[in-house]
Amino acid sequence: MIQNNQIASAYSPPFRIVAKYFIAAIISFVIFNLLLTLNYEDISGHHFQPKILSVTHIATLGFITMIIFGAMFQLVPVVLEVKLFSTILAEVQFWIFSLGIILLVYKFWHFGSALSFTLPAVLLNTAMLIFSVNIIASMVKVKKWNLTGTYLASSIFWLLTTAVAGLLLSINLDTPFIKLNHLQYLKLHVITAFVGWVGMVVMGVSFKLIPMFTLSHDYKLNLANWAVALINIGLLGVNWIMHYPDTQFYNVIFGSVIFAGMLLYLIQISVIFRKRIRKKLDVGLKFTAISLFILGITTLLNFSFLFFNYENVINLTLVYGILFLVGFASTLIVGQMYKIVPFLVWYHKYSSKVGIEKVPMLKDMFNEKLAEYHLYLMISGLVISIISLSFQLKVLLLFGFSILLISSIIFSFNMIKIFRS
């Protein structure tokens, strides 16, 4: 028998670090839903519109990236059995990152204000660089590398690419210098952010967490190996050709490579789900399963975008944006938070009491019934919003966004309950 007495939990960073990122993300999530609701009338025109960009960055930076940072500080040490390089850097990064988000969101909202775009972009790049250094310095000490590590290392490369592209776009907004079309670089910024950063993290972590939660066994990860290779090749190709004009042909080739990689991932994850031993999905896993189904839809939409000019189709970019940000990313994150946050709080508050006094089960730390209502409301809000955006039904859009707002408040109520339990 191979002995392994290493205690992975001993590698975990202090609770206050991860909690800070998670709480900031929950606040951003509610603000994101609130701003969607308050500005439903603006969210129907062209996507390259300041207020939409402001709202998008609350979601992508304040909610999604914030939560990924917090989760990675927790998961990288546990999954790769290594200590986080520096908790001080994680702390410093939090404040620089938060300030960067507030300033960027403010600047997009008040487009004509005196504040430059470059300042928030520099702050955000600094925070992301600190994050990358911290994680890479932790990763170099890893003794046993695994597939999740490959996905996470790739995600960091694409995070930095996204950040640099964002910085160049910001400088260009202050002092135009990009010779090619600004929107072409914007496209690069979005693809690397969605597929390279968010996608790679989600995929890598899912191979670890989903089998752990569903007790899936007896499957191979061959497709996952192919998926990471194809997606990286496709993204490198897309990043290369975006610097040249007239790239339609190569765009189709590299876009198709990414599509093939995503498809392999989706097949792989459905195999893991099918091989699960816990047949009944709890609320966290219901969110997860639905979000992965929506990822399938957005993947197909992305593939179709290679063959026609979607920017001319009314609101398709917005429909895609809402599907990705709310349907896939937010649904997945809130689902995983129903699994991870109770564990974090349990570990922080009760692990020293196990065996001495009665400790709660994780599912007892929040109101599961309320979480189920949250799920139904979030999905109905999403469907109504997508229909309203597709057919330009403004009043119905307000209704859809209001349902999403209510669902986000229920979610934060449940999260507060977990933190206070």
Partner 1 sequence: MTSKITKEKITDILRTVIDPEIGINIVDLGLVYDINISENNIDITMTLTTPGCPMHGSITNWVKRIIEMTIPDISVNVNLVWEPKWTPDKMSEEAKLQLGM
Binding-site ranges for partner 1 (CB under 8 A): 1-5, 7-10, 12, 74, 78-79, 81, 208, 211-213, 215, 217-218, 277-280, 339, 343, 346-347, 351, 354-356, 359-363
- Which amino acid, 59? A
Q: Which of residues 1 and 114 has its CB atom nearest to partner 1 in the complex?
A: 1
Between CA 414 and CA 126 the distance in angstroms is 33
CB 114, min distance to partner 1, A:
47
CB 8, min distance to partner 1, A:
6
- Provide the 10 A C-beta neighbour count for residue 309: 8
Q: Which of residues 74 and 268 has its CB atom nearest to partner 1 in the complex?
A: 74
CB 80, min distance to partner 1, A:
8
Q: Which of residues 218 and 246 has its CB atom nearest to partner 1 in the complex?
A: 218
The first and second tokens of residue 333, run together, are 């994150």
CB 267, min distance to partner 1, A:
22
Q: Which of residues 185 and 338 has its CB atom nearest to partner 1 in the complex?
A: 338
Closest CA to 33 of 374, 418, 288, 419: 374
* Under 8 Å between Cβ of 265 and 202: no
Between CA 43 and CA 59 the distance in angstroms is 14
First to last CA, the chain: 39
CB 349, min distance to partner 1, A:
11
Closest CA to 301 of 321, 286, 281, 283: 321
Please report where in the chains the tokens 């190569």 appear, as a residue. Answer: 250
Between CA 342 and CA 364 the distance in angstroms is 9
* Under 8 Å between Cβ of 317 and 402: no
Q: Which of residues 157 and 213 has its CB atom nearest to partner 1 in the complex?
A: 213
CB 358, min distance to partner 1, A:
10
* Under 8 Å between Cβ of 29 and 412: yes
Between CA 378 and CA 366 the distance in angstroms is 18
Q: Which of residues 356 and 395 has its CB atom nearest to partner 1 in the complex?
A: 356
CB 2, min distance to partner 1, A:
4
Q: Which of residues 226 and 343 has its CB atom nearest to partner 1 in the complex?
A: 343
